[in-house]
Structures are given as structure tokens and as C-alpha cells.
Amino acid sequence: MNIAFLYNVRHRYPDPKKPQTLREADFDDPETTELQIKYLKKLGYKVFPIEANEEAYFKLYRLKSKIDLVFNVSEGLHGNDREAQIPAMLEMLQIPYTGSSPLAQAIVLNKSKAKEILIANKIPTLPFQLFKSRNEKLNKSLNYPLMVKPVSEGSSAGITNKSVVYNEAGLHKQVTYIEETFGEQALVEPYLEGREFSIAMLGNPPQVLPILESDHSMLPKKYMPFDSLEVKWFYEIATSGKHLKCPAKINLVLEKKINKICLDLWNAIGIRDWCRIDIRCDKKENPYVLEVNSPPGCTPPEHDPASYFPLIARSIGIDYENLLKMIIETALKRYKK
Ligand SMILES: Nc1ncnc2c1ncn2[C@@H]1O[C@H](COP(=O)(O)OP(=O)(O)O)[C@@H](O)[C@H]1O
Ligand SMILES: [Mg+2]
């Protein structure tokens, strides 16, 4: 079987002090891509690696008759709907691919549109305001402390200790930072102080894999208790994710609530094959969806043992190679119907 592997490669390591590096935070580094290709080859597939840049369409067009399936881990290059780019090309070329459709991809990359769909479907997510300009006034329904984040980024890009704001001056400063760094609107929502979970889903219909907890009580004092860029890209890497627990220790009531939220979200947004959902609780352990990751990060364990999806899969005995195989087989089954 022939697989085209579609990826975006990061050329610079994310550095909070160098905003221009943050735009590539969601991409994979060259070692990750190399290893992923190696694993696919080990599974016996013939692999055509294609970087998801401006030339990708021509390569796909030329190889169309040879490609049985695209394994898509690309994020897309430009614009706020970039994660939909490769799926849209593949629809046009009628090449089967792993993961969600252009519509679902565009929705999940835009945290505010995704939340509108969740709210319409009565799936718990926080109330929010999208700041179209830095001078917009805060809605009276929102109270400090608030979290300010870019509306269409990932991998904690633009999220630092300063993202929690306590007053109008702090809010204005942070909305301005998002606007200037990403050329993007800022999403503002209440700051939640409870536990945080990440949930991997796989299959059609999906299986909810064991819940992972990011235990922020274990973080050194200099970090705020959430997954800022510093925590994800420095602490987590340096400690191989010491603060990550899978399966999380949670009571049955919360587990059931989370499972239902994830399955409802999958159906409401129309996810396919695999995704990862980030959920955070308030102090009373009421869970709220923060965002959806599709495709989720999937770095091999020898390069990053803390990469969430493979870590969760390992907790039920699915190694990296088998995980890739399961994603591929899940996608192929959809096209055989
Ligand atoms: N409303 C919030 N309250 C508290 N922490 C938050 C909130 N929103 C985001 N965070 C923290 O920031 C991290 C990154 O935010 P998230 O919405 O998942 O965006 P990304 O796409 O960058 O992963 C979360 O994992 C969480 O730790
Ligand atoms: Mg997240």
C-alpha cells in the first residue's frame, strides 16, 4: 500500500521572547517527521513524504494514481483556516485521507466558532468574548480573572503567565500582544482554577481512550498552574512530562460527564478518525471544553515521551507503530463502505 505523508515542518524552536517563532509552534520538528516516516515504512507501506507547502498540490496531483491514502498531520501554511487546506485539496483530487473534513478542520482551528457550535449543542464550554480590536469594551457578563488567548493557534502559542489578567489594563495589554504577534483576534474567557484533562478519541464510532491529567500542582512555583508555552516547551520536555498522569485518578461521575461531553462534541463538530479534546474544570470539578485538536500532536516516544496521544495509547498497550496502523485502518474502513 502507498501512503503519502503530509506534514508541516518547524524550522525554529518556539521562544516566548521571539514572537515570530511562535507561528510555527504547531508544526513538527524535522526529527519528528523523519521518525514518523520511518515508522510508516516499518509498517510495510511505501511512503511519499510531502511537505504541506505551496507545492503540495502539484505533488499530490502528479502522484494521485499511486496514492492509496494520505496520512495527514499537516497544519497548513497561511491564513486562519489553514488546517483545512490539505483536506480540501484531497477532496478535490478524490484521494482518501486520515482525519477530519475541511469543514471540521476549519471549525476546530477557530476556537470561537468551535465554541459557538458547542454552545448551540448544549456541550459545556465557557462564555467568551472575541476582541475584534484592542479598544473593545469587556462585556458586563465576564468577570476577572480572565484568560486571553489567540483565537486560531495551538500548542500554547501566545499563552504565558501573563495570559491571565486581573483588570482592564492587563486585558488591554494582552489583547494588544495577541493582535501584534499573531495578527489575530483575542479570545477572552473566564480563567478556570480546577483540574485539567486531555482526552484522546479514535475510531468511527470513536473509542474514548483513558483520560490524561496534566497535574499543574506539580509545577515549580515560577509557572502559573496551566499549560503555558513555557510549561509545554521547556518544563514538559525537560521532565519527559513528569506531571502527566494517565489514566487520571477521577471519580466515576466526572469520568462519565467527560465521556459524554467528548462523544457529543465528536458528533456535533463531525470529527473523523481521531482527535484530542482539552477539558478544564472549575473548582467544583465541573468540566468545560477548552478546545479540540485535529490532527492531534503525535510525536514518537523516543523523541518526545510526553506527546499526549501516543502517551495515552501506550497506557492501554498500544505502541507507536500500532497507533499509526490503527489510525490508517480506521480511515481506510470509511472509504470501503
Ligand atoms: N479558560 C482557561 N482557564 C484556565 N486555563 C486555560 C484556559 N484556557 C486555556 N488555558 C490553559 O492554556 C492551555 C492552552 O490553551 P488551549 O485552549 O488548549 O489552546 P492551545 O490550542 O494552544 O492548546 C490549556 O491547556 C490550559 O492549561
Ligand atoms: Mg490545547
What's the mean pLDDT in 13-19?
74
pLDDT for 45-75, tens place per residue? 999 999 999 999 999 999 999 999 999 999 9
Beta bridge partners of 245: 213
Identify the band that residue 27 occupies on the pLDDT scale cut at 50, 70 and 90: confident
Distance 37 CA to ligand 1 centre (A): 30
Evaluate if residue 79 carries a pLDDT over 80.
yes
Query: What backbone phi and psi angles, to 5 degrees, belong to 253?
Result: -65, -50
Fold of 117-121+193-336: D-amino Acid Aminotransferase; Chain A, domain 1 (3.30.470)
Residues around ligand 2, an ion, CB closer than 5 A: 278
Q: What is the pLDDT of residues 246-257, one digit of tens each?
A: 999 999 999 999
Domain boundaries, the chain: 2-99, 117-121+193-336, 127-190
Question: Is there an atom of ligand 1 within 6 Å of 196 CB?
Answer: yes
The alpha carbon of residue 175 and the mean position of all alpha carbons in its chain are separated, in whole angstroms, by: 22
More confident residue, 25 or 262: 262
List, for residues 86-144, the tens digit of each pLDDT value.
Answer: 999 999 999 999 999 999 999 999 999 999 999 999 999 999 999 999 899 999 999 99
Phi-psi map region of 335: left, alpha, beta (phi>0 left; psi -120 to 50 alpha):
alpha
CA of 128 to the centre of ligand 1 (A): 13
* The ligand 1 atom nearest the CA atom of 159: 12
- In the predicted model, is pLDDT for residue 199 greater than 90? yes
* Atom nearest to 293 CA in ligand 1: 21
pLDDT at 26: 75
Evaluate: CB of 159 within 6 angstroms of ligand 1: yes
Cα of 48 vs centre of ligand 2, distance in Å, is 30
- pLDDT of 155 > 90? The answer is no
pLDDT of residue 77: 85
Closest ligand 1 atom to 192 CA: 3
pLDDT tens profile 232-245: 888 988 999 999 99
Burial class (CB in 10 A: 0-12, 13-18, 19+), 248: buried
Report the DSSP pairing between strands 46-51 and 2-7.
Answer: parallel
The CATH number assigned to the domain with range 127-190 reads 3.30.1490
Looking at residue 262, its pLDDT comes to 98
Q: Which residues of 179-213 are buried (b: 16+ CB within 10 A; e: fewer)?
A: bebbebbbbbbbbbebbbbbbbbbbeebebbebbb
261 has a pLDDT exceeding 90: yes
**pLDDT at 16 > cutoff 90:** no
The residue whose CB lies within 8 Å of the most ligand 1 atoms, and thus the one to mutate among 75, 149, 309, is 149
For ligand 1, atom 25, which residue shows the shortest CA distance? Answer: 227
How much distance in Å is there from the Cα of 195 to the middle of ligand 1?
12
Q: Between these two residues, 80 and 159, which has the higher pLDDT value?
A: 159
Separation between Cα atoms, residue 333 and residue 318, nearest integer Å: 19
| Nearest ligand for residue 25 CA | 1
Confidence label for 14 from pLDDT (cuts 50, 70 and 90): confident
How would CATH label the architecture of 2-99?
Answer: 3-Layer(aba) Sandwich (3.40)
Average pLDDT value for residue range 14-32: 78
Whole-number pLDDT of residue 265: 98
Whether 192 lines ligand 1, by a CB cut-off of 6 Å, is: yes
Q: Answer yes or no: is pLDDT of 25 > 80.
A: no
Q: Which residue has the cell 497535574?
A: 215
pLDDT recorded at residue 337: 73
Ligand 1 mean position to 290 CA, how many Å? 6
Ligand (nearest to CA of 275): 2
Q: Does any ligand 1 atom lie closer than 6 A to the CB of residue 291?
A: yes
> What's the pLDDT band for 11 if we cut at 50, 70, 90?
confident
Tell me which ligand sits closest to the C-alpha of residue 232: 1
Q: What is the pLDDT of residue 15?
A: 79
Query: What mean pLDDT comes out for the span 290-318?
Result: 97
The β-bridge relationship of strands 164-165 and 186-190 is unpaired
Task: State in Å: Cα 278 to ligand 2 middle.
Answer: 5
